[in-house]
A and B are shown apart, each in its own frame.
Chain A
Amino acid sequence: MTQKDPTMRPDDTPPTRGSALKFLLLIPYLALLWLPFYNDVHPSLMGFPFFYWYQLLWVPLTSLILFVVYRWVR
């Protein structure tokens, strides 16, 4: 296969309903890459300093965001 593959164009389908929700996907990046948000011991939760439970909390939150986008963006 040395030729260009004409089937490989990015799809041209226009944005459909709920596509603004896609911006939700950026939230985990902001929440986790800006360290001043969470580089602290307090408040601690069940013995876990904030730094740890905040990051662990973003695991289900990210799944939830992905689910919302999956469900409502087509």
Chain B
Amino acid sequence: MALASELLPGTLELLILKAVSLGPKHGYRILLRIQEISRGALSITQGALYPALYRLEEQGLLASEWGTSENNRRAKYYRITRAGEKRLREETDGWNRLSSGVSLVLRAVTEDA
């Protein structure tokens, strides 16, 4: 298994928003989706998903309703709200700026060395 990097604080919420923005999902599906997108590069302690989901729901970034899952089980489906979409855009921009900034710095260090 590839070496999975630990999540920076707050990034789990960002990943959840991204995963849910692609379509409503229940908790386990969100986990699978994140692992799928990141090709297993990110390790998530599965349980930590739920406090993050509840936080996002309380902040009004996600909404939820009960539905039926793929094999006919009752499941809680999360979907992104308009506020959630806005936050996702802001966070994505912020993340991109940060990560490009960081990689620029890292690259500069490599060349000078």
Do they bind each other?
no
- Chain B residues in the interface with A (C-beta under 8 A): none
